[in-house]
Structure 1
Amino acid sequence: MSRTNRVVLLHTILPAYRQDFLEEVAYRLGNRFSAVAGLRSAPPVVTTEVSFPILSVRNRYFLGGRVYVQTGAAMLQALDAAVLIVDMNPRCLTTWLLVLLRRILGRRTLGWGHAFPRSGPDSGSDRVRSVLRSLCGEVCVYTFGQRRQLLEHQPKIGSVYVVPNATQRRVNPVSRGRRINLLYCGRLSVLKRPDLLVEAYACARASIPSGARLVIIGSGPMEERLRALVRDLGVEASVDFEGAVSDSQRLKGFYQDALVSVSPGYVGLALTQSLAFGVPMIIADDEPHAPEVELANSANSRFFNARSKEALSEEIVDVFRSRDDWIESSVTISNECQQYYTAEAMAKSFVAAATRRDEGHDSMEVFR
């Protein structure tokens, strides 16, 4: 295929939740589109699990995983593509090399990812990231808030596109059903604080319906510790560990039975997923959340004092007191989220950014 038509996405890894997005992009671009990725991230390890046909490269980590390079024949396609969208991770030395070489060759390169590191736009690490953004010249970020913040912080960057971060295609909101469980969906890691949820659930048990179970979806280094905590607190009979689940139909079944989902630590894509199904979320109020938290408002979420099991327990009880109201609002919650945050919308924005020169999209706003 002629280089003038090829669009290549280069990422460190492509987790299972990118499957729907990749299929939607391929539907729109056909064989013009290729995805290139390594198989494993640095610890904590996340792996490429999409069934979408990708071109594999090897991720080689150095200095304890603080920097890495990507090697393999597919890197030649990334260099030669008409449009290359790179993972905006300054720790990848290959990204810097590709961006510089393509800049010399006059080929279009877009950076894609979170606009800023978790430490924020005023951090030392963002000074490095800002150089990478400038070299790319065009950037795709995940939320409208990030776009506004980036243009204020770095007004000379050039074009900034919004590619709303989503995990799945458009879904129908869950029906009234049982809607009685508490749901945690995410990695079982210290930053996510799932142990706080287990403790809060144990505190709330006497004040919520006896059939209300805590369903934990995910895997990670805290799993055995959580299982032990559940046993110690005497709630083993009402807590379900379901492991990692990526199938959308299985996920919908869990959300179908959930009154509310909970993010006891920092929140990101779990919020867009929960709201898409029409299930509200209880969120810690003072954690280094991902930008997707801008979706949360008083109509779809409740906030509690971070790191307080008592505060979280009180919110859980309060949500059950208002159970009928939350269930009634499910359709509205789902529709407002899915106006922008679906795999279809994400792919539409991605393609519009990648093909701007062909399709004449306004560089200031691709999808809104």
Structure 2
Amino acid sequence: MGALTQHSKPFNWERPVGLMQPIIPGVIEWQPGVMKIRMQRGDTLIVCGGPRTVSTLTLLVKARLRGIKTVWFGHYWSSTSKSHRFYVRMMLMKLVHAVLFYTDQEIDEYRAGFGHNDRRPISAVNNGINVDPIISVRNPYRAEGRPRDMLLIGRLQAKCQAEMVINALADSRLAGVRLHIVGDGPARADLEVLARKLGVEDAVIWHGGTSDENVIAKVANQCRIFVFPGAVGLSLIHAMAYGLPAVINDDRWGNGPEITAFSANSTGAAFAKDDSADLVDKIAAIIDDTGLLNRWSEEARRRADELYNTQGMTDRVLALIDRLGDGR
């Protein structure tokens, strides 16, 4: 959606609807105007699947009654998923003609579980970002030509667990390593206090929150690695597009679905979730291994450029629509 909403002028096909309204806060919601969306036979309706949004579910039923092809787009499982909502979501997915997951790995996980007998078209977008602006501003990656700097990019909140990286800087093995933080949020003040308490305030550079790729590039292009201790999502793809090897936690189900773009020992290193000592060990083991970092960088960049980007997402959505139209 960001690729659509970043344009100042609306597309001629845009149809604005109302803001989401809670019916039972945190349980059921309704979006005014949704039921006025015009549909006709031959259309394909793709909805952002969620069991809480009754207006979307009602629209799906309306579309089915009119003979319109329907697609459910959503997670198989995410870092915020709860078991009861997961089961409800699996049941509601039966309303549609096809399912569109975030990543190819989610297709495999669905087929191995709830979807083992599902004969409908099941596809995935390989959720990513628009890498074109990054390609135009990124520098070639050569670890030996960069300082021993790390990048953390994302909103500073509890689930980011940025305090783990700041604590890591106090370890003698990481002396001389600096952490660049691009992002802001409610946890920043406490993180600044922690850095001063540990005596590493000079090793943490705060850049604030920004979506200006030119500003981000000036930081990312001088870093050797990307580090994100908490639940990572699209920030991982962002860093990979700059060719940065990643150090992230190893919890598949505690991270966003974008974690499937990462492979330990191919695009970076994985540490045991919530294990501060292991995080330090992993960073210390790779930060000066420039040959290894260069190999990981090449693979990370390739995956972002070829597999996890908005152009690929568009192609996959269109392919699924064509498949539905052909009755396959």
Instruction: Provide TM-score, normalisation by structure 1.
Output: 0.76
Q: 1:169 to 1:296 in 2, by over 3 A?
A: closer
Match of 2:127 among 145, 162, 165: 165
Match of 1:76 among 26, 36, 41: 36
**Aligned twin of 1:306:** 273
Q: CA deviation at 1:209?
A: 5.8
**Aligned twin of 2:204:** 239
Q: Deviations over 1:98-132 (max 9, x none)?
A: 111111121122111112354779x3222210122
Match of 1:273 among 210, 233, 238: 238
Q: CA deviation at 1:279?
A: 0.6
Identity %: 24
Match of 1:196 among 164, 188, 191: 164
Q: CA deviation at 1:335?
A: 1.2
Give the superposed CA RMSD. 2.8
**Aligned twin of 2:282:** 315
Alignment of 1:25-40 (within 5 A): 31=12, 33-34=13-14
Match of 2:256 among 276, 280, 290: 290
**Aligned twin of 2:118:** 156
Q: 1:324 to 1:56 in 2, by over 3 A?
A: farther
Q: Deviations over 1:309-368 (max 9, x none)?
A: 22211222112231343135423331134221111111111222234345x5x95xxxxx
Letter in 2 for 1:235: V
Instruction: Provide TM-score, normalisation by structure 2.
Output: 0.85
Q: CA deviation at 1:147?
A: 1.0
Q: CA deviation at 1:75?
A: 4.7
Match of 2:216 among 251, 254, 268: 251
**Aligned twin of 2:192:** 227
Match of 1:353 among 310, 314, 320: 320
Count the aligned residue pairs: 315
8 Å contact from structure 1 (residues 217, 243) kept in 2 = yes
8 Å contact from structure 2 (residues 79, 231) kept in 1 = no
Q: SS at 1:321's partner residue?
A: coil
Q: CA deviation at 1:244?
A: 2.3
Q: CA deviation at 1:252?
A: 2.6
C-alpha separation in 2, matches of 1:279 and 1:78: 45
Q: CA deviation at 1:308?
A: 2.2
Q: 1:263 to 1:133 in 2, by over 3 A?
A: same
Q: 1:157 to 1:356 in 2, by over 3 A?
A: closer
| Structure 1 stretches lacking a partner, 5+ long | 1-13, 37-54, 364-368
Match of 2:302 among 335, 355, 360: 335
Q: Deviations over 1:3-40 (max 9, x none)?
A: xxxxxxxxxxx4xxx227988xx9xxx85x54x6xxxx
C-alpha separation in 1, matches of 2:48 and 2:147: 38
Q: CA deviation at 1:137?
A: 2.4
**Aligned twin of 1:262:** 227
